[in-house]
Each structure stands twice: as C-alpha cells, then as structure tokens.
Chain A
C-alpha cells in the first residue's frame, strides 16, 4: 500500500520501543486491532512493550485479561474469526506450551477446515530466548514447536527496524503469525526506525553482511552473537563470512539460503533451542536436499544442548556464544 505521506524522519529506538510503536501505529490505523494479555494494560507489559497504549486506546482495546493463557489464545481466535485483529501477548516463552492445544489443533487449521470461509488473522507475540538472568521457564526458545505446525507463520526479528516493520506486516497478514521477540535485544538492540507505517515483507531473510567463505545462518538474538563470531573469524582466520538472519522462520526463505550457501559452500546454523529436532535440523535437511553438490563441508549446527534450559548461573554455557560459533566455523572451514 503506497501512501502519499512523505516518510517521516527515522529516530534511534531500541527493539521494545519499535514493537511498542508498531502496536501504536496499528491501533491508530485500524480500529479492529486490539491487544490481549496479562499485565499489558495499566502496567504496560512486563517488558513495557505496550507502555502507554492502555491510556491512549482504553480498556476495551488494550485488555488486561484474567491469568489464563488458553483463554487468551482461544478468545483471540474467536475475535479474529469474527472480524477483529487481536494481538495476543503470552508473557514469557516458557508459558507458551499452555496454548498448544489452541495452536496445534485450531489456529492453523481453521482456514482449511472451513474450506476457506474463515481465517484467523491474529498475532501471537511472545518474548524469546535467554541470557537476561531470568528465572526458570523465562528463557526458552520454543520456535520449532510452532514452525512444525502447519498453517502458521513464525517470525523473529533481530533489529528494531525489522521488529516494527515485521510486526505491522504480521498484524496486516490474513493468517495467524507467531511473533517472537528476542528479549536479550529488547533494550540492547538499537537502530534507526522510521516513524509511521511501513512494513517489512514476511518470508524474506536479511543478509546482515556479505562474505564468500562461509555462511552463518541464524535468527533472533543469535544474530548478534554471529556478528561477534564473524568479526573474530575475519580478524583471526582471514575468513570472509556471510551472515543471513532468517527473520521469518516459517515459511523458510529457501532461495536466500541456497543463494548464500551456494556461494560459500559452507554453512553453520546457530540458534538457542535444544539442537535435536530443532528448526536448524529442518534447515540443514533442506540444504542437504537442495544444495548438496554446492557444499564443500557438512552443514554444522550450533544450538542449545539436548537438556532442559538450566537456571541462569549456567545459561551462558547452554546458549551458544561466539566461541562456540567460531569453533564450529573453524571445523567447517578446515574440513
């Protein structure tokens, strides 16, 4: 959609401010948009993602719900079917399993079960990942469960610009979108964000930096880790590193992945979730299926260990850091 309004000046925002601004723009532009969640109203969300919106749009559109995740998810589905554009917030990634029944059995199926007569244009927002010294069940990376579920789009930005543009695109999407927000980056990721409405296309990866020897394929907060690893690999090993931030996990931007890996011939996939059965496994399989003859080394996956997320004293040894990415990249480069 083209607007006659000339683009407003960009300001530096952090990622949670960008999320907040996207919600504000969406609510101002479309009266069907409403926000549901625990503590999203008066308190402005535990991460302040909805700060100020309750005051601006009122209790009827920014709704502090009872503490019931299935209630939030199920009623958001009902609201979406009946013509509203709910943006539901689940307070922490570790509370998302509660909504699985609704997500797996209904969210992605209603369009096809109604033979296209109904759709569920809602957004399910949740913070994602670890490394903020949070309590147990507050540092999880559950994306693979959602990506495995047909009918659902899964998005995770790593910059403020993408956060705002992708969230606006998600809210405007005719189908359900699970929108993960890397909580480590909420305040640490800062960048230029234009005021007003703009969208970033869902389903397109972002080339963070170009390189020719190896591709680091990643998403979420791990994008920043990969940037650190790339800087070291370039300095210490003289390697030319390309980083691809997937941004949309499902559907996968296979063209971008094959273009990059086809060029470099080497790929390390870095993410925070337990490695086995992770979304990295799907990506690795796709690269093997579609790009095997371009590979110069096996695809390496660097993820969390196949154990539960430990309490935060050990989280930095669970979630891959730049050291682990560097180690994996060196093995791949010297294969």
Chain B
C-alpha cells in the first residue's frame, strides 16, 4: 500500500502594518479612528510608564521589575477586542495587558514593590493575577473558558504565555482540553525571542510555535506581534470564532523583548547589540505613529499634548503608589480561608506578641490599621 498523506497543516502569518507605516489594504481591518488613537495612546503611555518603573527600581524605590518595552502591541491591543466580562490572564510581564484592561498602574507598582495589596483589578473586570511559575495558569484558563461556555452568554477567556513557556507540558494539556471541549479560549504565545538567556531557536525544534495548535485540533496562526493592526485583526477574528462556539485559537505573536528579562537580569551576557538594534527598526509604536500621521490622525502638536498628559498621569500614579502606608504585618493572615481556622487565630496573636516584643506598645500604636478579612 502506498503511503498516504492523512493530514497536512498550513501555517499563515498575518502582517498588515509595515515598518514604514504603510498598510496592506486588502488585510486592513475596519477600525474606527477613535480606536486607532486609543491603540496609540495605550502603547505610548505604557512604554513611558515602563521607563519610569525601571528608573524607580534603579533608584531603590521598587523591587525586581519585568519590563515590557517592545511588546506593547502584543500586550495592549488584544484587550481592545474584549468585554470586561471576558476573562484575561496575562503573564507576569503583563503590565500592558492590565493597563489596557483599565488597571490603575499604582497597583502594578505596589505588586512589584512586594506588597500583596498590588493585586487589585478594576471592579467588574474578569481579570486574574498572573502565575509566576510560568504556564501553570494555562489549564486554568481552559477552565475559565469552559465556565464561559457553560454559562452560554458568549463569553471568552484570553491568556498569554511566552515562547519559553510553550515548552512546558502545561500548554499541551491546556490545548488538549481547549480543543477537545471546543472551548471559547484564546491562547496568545507572546514570542519575544528570549526566555531569560535562552533564545527561541533553542526552545523548540518546531519551525513555528503557531503550528503547535494543529496537534490539538485548535486553530493557529502566527502574527507580527509588533504590528498592532495585525494583532487586533487576529484577536477580533479569534474572539468572533470563540463567541460563535467554533472553538479555541492559538495566536503566536512574534515580538521582541527589548530590555532585560527583569531588572535583576543583564542581557549583555547572552545576546548581541546587533540583534537588539535590528528589532528597534521594527518598533511597534514608531510604525503605528507613522501610520497615524499618514492618515492625518496625528501630528507633533498631538504628540506633545499626549507626552504632557502621560507625564502627569505617571507622576500621579507614582505618587499614589508611594503614598500607600507600609502594610500592617498582621495583614498577611487575612483572606487565607473563608473562615480562619483556630490555628491561624493563635498564630496571628503570636505575631502580635512578637511585634510587642520588638517595639513595645509604641510600635503597636504606630501600625496602620489592618486590611483584608480576618478571621
């Protein structure tokens, strides 16, 4: 018997906006001008915010911080295709996603300052805190999407993982469930080229990460992740398919981590400046600005105004962040259980005793009020 081809796959790559600001008219999605301007604002502001966060870290006013510079399109654009009731779970490098979901960035700073009060998302949003052990959220997102399906209101669940995380078994199991149960889930692989010091080509022998989708009966495609229009078009299409009950999509967004892995990392140890420079030319914000200018939607005056607004917005968020009083140590016992067991009540009392031992009544008086629910 001759060998037969029983399956073949076809991996598409979507690019719409060129680095010179011109677009592929045939592929250009219908986007109202107002939304185009919003895309630019989000990307512009989060980049400036990122720069300030790094400065805060370098001057000892923030803990280890994961920078997002270069990944603004992949992060800020997908949320624009979603409702607040759709689930969104980014990675720890997800400031742009949370910002586009309306998070007050003072909380982002608070989290990276090592303060548990930083996991604060806008009321009514189905946003979830990222996972730090990477990829462990991916199967949970299958569950979130499953919940949306069972509720029958057309809700979806969107999540992110990196190119590194795509090597983990978690993605295999998540896509298996998403495909098998035809879940309204969208998995975005934010392929930024580097998992700390390990480059994408050392991560997997797979030619693209998008093609992994086919192994699970999931629709998959690759997108220029620095092209806001392509990211938008791909997300809109995936969301529409999910809402109609046509199942999950895997989108590989090819982007680049312009900065260090975190402020605790140093990329000069493992990659060349030439590569980094070559990606500068593909910058998502610069090309989007050229596009807006060519459409007569943007000019220097508007840029200047946005710059001023952004500066004062960042100043306000930093001020609000720094005005959070140091947390009361007793807070750590709050919200551990619906009802705290007696052992925790005893241990919390022991911590109170320790605080008195340390500084006496004076210290107890000077502590801020406790926050969170206890017992």
Contact = CB atoms under 8 A, between A and B. Distances in A.
Given A67-B168, A135-B132, A318-B332, 6 more contacts: A42-B270, A135-B64, A135-B112, A312-B63, A314-B114, A327-B357
Given A42-B269, A138-B132, A313-B326, A305 B332 contact: yes
A39 interface: yes
A137 B64 CA distance: 13
A107 to B, nearest CB: 17
Contact of A135 (B63, B134, B195, B355): B63
Interface of A: 38-39, 41-44, 46, 64, 66-71, 94-95, 97-98, 133-138, 276, 305-308, 310-315, 317-318, 323-324, 327
Contacts of A43: 196-197, 269-270
B309 interface: no
B197 A39 contact: yes
Tell me the dominant secondary structure on chain A's binding face: loop
Q: Which one of B113, B116, B169, B197 has the highest number of Cβ atoms from chain A below 10 Å of its Cβ?
A: B197
Query: 9 tightest A-B contacts by CB?
Result: A312-B114, A67-B164, A43-B197, A66-B167, A317-B329, A137-B132, A313-B114, A310-B332, A311-B114
B351 interface: yes
Contacts of A44: 269
B169 A305 contact: no
Interface string B312-332: 000000000000001101011
B167 A67 contact: yes
B91 to A, nearest CB: 12
Nearest to B337: A307
Given A43-B197, A43-B270, A327-B354, A313 B113 contact: yes
Contacts of A38: 164, 195-196, 198
Interface residues of B, number: 48
Contacts of A305: 332-333, 344, 347-348, 351
B167 A95 contact: no
A276 B134 contact: no
Contacts of B111: 311
Nearest to B111: A311
A323 B358 contact: yes
Nearest to A64: B198
A44 B196 CA distance: 12
A238 B162 CA distance: 57
B356 to A, nearest CB: 10
Nearest to B65: A135
26 contacts: A38-B198, A42-B197, A43-B197, A44-B269, A67-B195, A70-B168, A133-B63, A305-B333, A305-B344, A306-B343, A307-B332, A307-B336, A307-B344, A308-B336, A310-B332, A311-B111, A311-B114, A311-B116, A313-B326, A314-B327, A314-B331, A323-B357, A323-B358, A324-B354, A327-B353, A327-B357
